[in-house]
A and B are shown apart, each in its own frame.
Chain A
């Protein structure tokens, strides 16, 4: 029990359970397996983005361009398959190459040039989405070839929807990377004490660059799941997803100041955000109020983080 309460994601777990109970009472439609499975499927894209975002935020940076990069990778892949008739697996490779390439670009500017990540990715937010529109002529593509219908709507053993399978596999491997590889350890070390990490000989520039590449690759993966779900692609996709992804990470107990947090928390955070949306839909709360609610949740989550950090520093 002490182990549990000590975890950064403990708060998010409690929030998910409490909200689950409240929504079960408030709406008869919440607590059935169809709806719960739907929540997880809807959470999957944001969860994938939040996973990559966790790496960036743990180093003390932030990636505001994940929505735009998802759109770029997705729109390009869709355009290649539908318009140019390129083999879907080549298009998937291209999406990952775009994700990694933009990640390298961001990481280079942040780690080697020294531009704050906030600025690099704020610029990227419009730069990459603009490129997504421009490169595809602004047209929507629809009718994705296999394997996209399977990624979006297939079910493993005729039971578990594929987006959930992708999300679970992703989180299992990412939590291993974060807890048991050099990259994971140095991500925490850089976020805790960047100077100290340099003094003990960690090549912090390359590892900082690495987290943006991880985030870029996660965007590509999220884009593939998203175009599978929508059976279409366009430069408009994944609008504002960066907000949900960052909110999921922060709600999951990862500190915006870096160094503290966990990837499991981000999964719980993504589920929490989706539950809030799902619950408000079931309770027929208007879209406008939903926008306000999500924004408020983000501010409150950061507020809690700031208070927690002050308390830790005082210790």
Chain B
């Protein structure tokens, strides 16, 4: 990682709600093509972190850099325009619309631009949706069916394909399989592995350590509003991660766990 400019680099990110310190001095980096997992107990600051880097909320302090350039997100749309696509747990899909309508929801292709009465280009959106789904490896039998008739796994796949199709820099997946069964989870994981093969950088928030070790290159551990450790999957194991999450294992006793955190801090001061 040291000789590549990270896609995403975060220094000293801090968010306090009154006296509640939701996130303090978080340092983070995502290398090109890297898949990173964010783990931590409930209330450890994961959600706050994600809300800050997707523009849902604004930090009290700290900087966010994309490809080495500092950015500020005023809104989720802003973050999206600058290349960060997020798949929320709630998926942000309209069940009563079909697949192409959902993929292009909020950024429709138009034939004639007339403001709210802009005329939609159904054909172009359909064709591009077919391409996006094919690239991401998502199989949908009937594109004109509404999502209401589809399983949770299929919906999740549509949401991921949408994010992958539009992401200029990276994708953030918030608990992508939390509501899915075993088979559907496996399908979604295949799709994520496909993104890895294509070199799409990705951050996944997950409680499922089996999944984290299956999908991620690097694991970032959140604890009590701080990022306490960053370890490569190949140098770690699930017991160690559990220890870091609960505090049973001190990050100082894990070789290299704090290297990246301090390296970024040092970089900040220079």
| Residues B105 and A189 in contact, CB atoms below 8 Å apart | yes
Tell me how far the C-beta of A212 lies from the nearest C-beta in chain B, rounded to whole angstroms. Answer: 13
Question: In whole angstroms, how far apart are the Cα atoms of A188 and B106 in the complex?
Answer: 12
User: Are B95's CB and A210's CB within 8 A?
Assistant: no
Chain A contacts for B120, CB-based, 8 A: 180-182, 185
**Nearest CB in chain B: distance from A156 CB, A:** 27
Residues of B within 8 A of A207 (CB): 116
Q: A199-B88, A200-B105, A315-B149 are known contacts. Are A188 and B119 too (CB-CB below 8 A)? A: no
A188 partner, pick from B76, B97, B116, beta carbons under 8 A: B97
- Chain A residues closer than 8 Å to B93, beta-carbon distance: 193, 196
B80 adjacent to chain A (CB < 8 Å): yes
Chain A residues closer than 8 Å to B92, beta-carbon distance: 193, 195-197, 199-200
B77, B95, B101: the one contacting A185 at CB < 8 Å is: B101
Q: Is B259 on the interface with A (CB-CB < 8 A)?
A: no
Within 8 A of A (CB), among B99-120: 101, 105-108, 110, 114-120
Bound-state CA distance A312–B108 (Å) is 27
Instruction: Name which residue of chain B comes closest to A186, CB basis.
Output: B116
- A158 located at the interface, meaning its Cβ lies under 8 Å from any Cβ of chain B in the complex: no
A177 in the interface (beta carbon within 8 A)? yes
Given contacts A177-B117, A182-B116, A201-B107, contact A192 B96 (CB under 8 A): yes
In chain A, positions 150-188 with a C-beta closer than 8 Å to chain B are: 177, 180-183, 185-186, 188
| Bitwise interface map of A from 256 to 270 toward B, beta carbon under 8 Å scored 1, else 0 | 000110000000000
Q: What are the nearest 7 A-B pairs in CB distance?
A: A200-B106, A192-B94, A196-B92, A259-B96, A199-B92, A192-B96, A189-B94
Answer yes or no: A191 CB below 8 A from chain B CBs: yes
Query: In the docked arrangement, what's the CA distance between A198 and B82, Å?
Result: 18
Contacts of A191 in B (CB 8 A): 96
Q: Which residues of the partner chain B approach A193 to less than 8 Å between Cβ atoms? A: 92-95
* Distance of A55 Cα from B224 Cα, bound (Å): 48
Q: Does B148 contact A (CB under 8 A)?
A: yes
Residues on B with beta carbons closer than 8 Å to the beta carbon of A181: 114, 116-120
Is the Cβ of A201 less than 8 Å from the Cβ of B76? Answer: yes
Q: Hey, which chain A residues are within 8 Å of B108, CB to CB?
A: 182, 185
- Say yes or no for A97: interface residue by CB 8 A criterion: no
Kindly report which residue of chain B lies nearest to residue A261, judged by CB atoms: B96
- Report how far A315 CA is from B150 CA in the complex, Å: 9
Whether a CB of chain A sits under 8 angstroms from the CB of B268 is no
Q: Does A298 count as interface, using CB distance less than 8 angstroms? A: no
When C-beta atoms are compared, the residue in chain B nearest to A8 turns out to be B96
Q: List 14 A-B contacts (CB under 8 A).
A: A181-B119, A182-B117, A185-B101, A191-B96, A192-B94, A192-B95, A195-B90, A196-B105, A201-B80, A201-B107, A202-B106, A210-B116, A312-B148, A315-B148
Q: How many Å lie between the Cα of A199 and that of B51 in the bound state?
A: 12
Question: Are B94 and A180 within 8 A (Cβ)?
Answer: no
The size of the chain A interface, using a CB distance under 8 A, is 26
Extra A-B contacts (9), CB below 8 Å, given A196-B93, A197-B94: A181-B116, A181-B120, A185-B108, A196-B105, A201-B106, A201-B107, A259-B95, A259-B96, A315-B148
- Say whether B7 faces chain A, with CB atoms less than 8 Å apart: no
> B16 near A: Cβ within 8 Å?
no
With contacts A182-B120, A189-B97, A207-B116 taken as known, whether A202 is within 8 angstroms of B90 at the C-beta atoms is: no
From 238 to 267 in chain B, residues with beta carbon under 8 angstroms from any chain A beta carbon are none
A189 to B, closest residue via Cβ:
B94
Distance (whole angstroms) from the CB of B166 to the closest CB of chain A: 10
A210 proximity list for chain B (CB < 8 A)? 116
Residues of B within 8 A of A200 (CB): 92, 105-107
Does B91 have its Cβ within 8 Å of any Cβ on chain A? yes
When the two chains form their complex, are residues B94 and A196 in contact, meaning their CB atoms are under 8 A apart?
yes
**Distance A259 CA – B95 CA, assembled complex (angstroms):** 8
When each residue 48-82 of chain B gets 1 if its CB lies under 8 Å from chain A and 0 otherwise, what string results? Answer: 00000000000000000000000000001100100
**How far is it, in angstroms, between the C-alpha of A186 and the C-alpha of B116 when the chains are bound?**
9
CB of B122 closer than 8 Å to a CB of A: yes
- Cα–Cα distance between A207 and B117 once the two chains are bound (Å): 11
Nearest B residue to A194, CB-CB: B94
* Shortest Cβ distance from residue A77 to the other chain B in the assembled complex, whole angstroms: 26
Whether A183 pairs with B117 at a CB distance below 8 angstroms is yes
C-alpha gap A183/B96 in the complex (Å): 15
Interface centre among A186, A196, A207 (most CB of B within 10 A): A196
**C-alpha spacing A182/B117, complex, angstroms:** 6
- A241 CB to nearest B CB, Å: 27
* Min C-beta distance of A88 to chain B, whole Å: 28
Among residues of A, the one whose C-beta sits closest to the C-beta of B147 is: A192
A257 to B: closest C-beta gap in Å = 10
Tell me the smallest distance from the CB of A273 to a CB of chain B, in Å: 25
A183 touches B101 (CB 8 A): no
Q: With the chains together, A200 CA to B97 CA distance in Å?
A: 14
Residues of A within 8 A of B117 (CB): 177, 181-183
Residues of chain A within 8 A of B80, CB atoms compared: 201
